Structure formats: C-alpha cells, structure tokens
A = this chain, B = another copy of it.
Amino acid sequence: MKINCPDRQGIVAEVCMTIANCNGNIIDAQQHREDLDQQFFMFVRFEINELSCSRTELEIRIQKKSEDIGFRWTLSYSDVPKRMAIMVSKYDHCLYDLLLKHKYGEIQADIPLIMSNHADLETVAKHFNVPFFHIPRTRANRVEADQKALDLFKEHGITFAVMARYMQILTPIILDAYPNKIINVHHGFLPAFKGAKPYHQAYAKGVKLIGATSHYANEELDMGPIIEQETERVSHSYSALDMVRIGRDIENRVLITAVKAHTEDRIIVYKDRTIIFE
C-alpha cells in the first residue's frame, strides 16, 4: 500500500493500527518526507493470509481512515499480478533479458503480449511462448498505429508497458491512457545526452563514463521521471561502437531494476521525480 499526504504527526501509527485491526501482519513499512514542501509518503507491505475480514472490508476501512485524517492511497495485491506489454523494434537484448528474468521468477507480472513495429523478433517471442503482434508504424500512420496498440493493450488487460528499445516516440493516445505506466530505457546518462545517438555524443565529448537511464515515458523526448541510472567506465580507446556494446548491459540492468520496482508497486511519482521504496 502506498500513501501520500501533507506531513503531520501520528499517520504511521494510525495506518498501522488500521491494518492490525483487520489482523494484517506488517512486514515492511517505509516512510519518506519531502522537506521542501512538507509532503509525507509511506509504503507498507503486509501479509493478509490471516485477515479477519474480507479484502473489500479492509479497503472500506482504509478509505474511511483516509477520509478522517486526509491521505491518498493505493493498494495492490501480490496475488493479482500486473499485466505487462513489451514493445520492441529490432534490438533484442532487452527483450531476451526481460523474458529470461521473467522465466526465473524475478518479475512478478504476466506478459500477455509482445508488440513490435517490425517482424524481426517474432522468433524470440515464439521461443518463449509469448504472443507476438506486428503493428507497422511510420511517421504518417503513427496515430492509427498507437490506437491499434492501445486497443490491443485494452483487449489483453495490459496494466503497464515496457519500451524495450522500442525506438519510437509515442503519441498522447497511448501515453494518456497509461500515465507513469510506460517504462522507457534511454541509452545515455540523462540529462546529459538526450535524443539520438547518445553514445556518439558521449564519444565526441570525451566522457570517461557512459550510462543508461530508465524512466517513465511522457510527451517530452527522454524527459520523464527517472527511475534508475547506471554508468560504466570507458576510455579514449573505446570507439562509439564499443560504447554501444557496453551500453547493452547497462540498458538491461537499468530496465530490469525499473520493471521490478514498478511491478512491486514501490514507485511513487512526485513532481517529475520518483520516490522508490525498497
């Protein structure tokens, strides 16, 4: 359960008692305060296998409490997994990594579909037994293509999507339907190298570290709230192609970390920044 409200005393205890009164067993409770504007954020994980009431009754009580003391809340159940769509173009490294980590049980979500603007990666989808949908997309037809994708997502009950090097700029059609629910991976250390060919930009500038960034997609290119970043050391002897190679591993790492945090509902977006509980 995630909670946000203006900071005041006693919230933690009130929330914990509400859960305890239903016989929920708290196994993790994390708090955060934004000092600048006195906002309070809380993340509580609790077991409900011995719950003394129904889930509906639990939610009613939380709602009542939230109205009493004034907080916003969302609650998710680990036995109701999120449904993730993977969007890809031609690069396959993030796709393989997501599907393998999913197979190992590291990602607690269902993957009902892979969607691509190219047909190339259908064999990978087949190998992992995930339905694959090919929706060609050009500058001319991108509104129709995004509408088609949105319909597909709705039809399959998709709750969030991952742009696994999808390499396309989404239109508001799909962005507005999934606000802070579409995760992108940018192959550069934002905000340093936005836009195209960031590794080539990094090479030209002579940086000694290159990075990758996962973030929620919004309408500004490579500008949504940052979820995770990593860097790796490079030297003068690395060509831009070497950086592309090293980048593949960094991209995988920041994307997986973001997907895990999202599926476990540990992320709160607040004012273009992310608060990520552990």
Contact = CB atoms under 8 A, between A and B. Distances in A.
Interface stretch (A27-35, A72-80, A150-158, A176-184): A27-35
Interface string A21-59: 101011111111101000000000000001000000000
Contacts of A35: 239
A66 interface: no
Contacts of A206: 225-226, 272-274
Interface residues of A, number: 60
Contacts of A27: 31, 33
Interface stretch (A109-117, A136-144, A227-235): A227-235
A12 B26 contact: yes
Contacts of A123: 127
A137 to B, nearest CB: 25
B226 A207 contact: yes
Copies per assembly: 4
A79 to B, nearest CB: 19
Contact of A226 (B16, B23, B32, B205): B205
A205 B191 contact: yes
Interface string A67-103: 0000000000000000000000000110010001000
Contact of A32 (B192, B237, B248, B253): B237
Contact of A245 (B28, B29, B104): B104
Contact of A248 (B104, B208, B253): B104
B236 A273 contact: yes
Interface of A: 9-10, 12-14, 16-17, 19-21, 23, 25-33, 35, 50, 92-93, 96, 100, 104, 106, 123, 127, 189-192, 205-209, 211, 225-231, 235-237, 239, 245, 248-249, 253, 272-276
The 10 closest A-B pairs by CB, nearest first: A206-B273, A13-B20, A192-B192, A13-B16, A12-B26, A236-B275, A9-B25, A208-B229, A16-B16, A29-B29
Given A9-B20, A29-B30, A29-B31, 10 more contacts: A13-B13, A13-B21, A26-B31, A28-B31, A92-B100, A93-B104, A104-B245, A191-B205, A208-B226, A236-B276
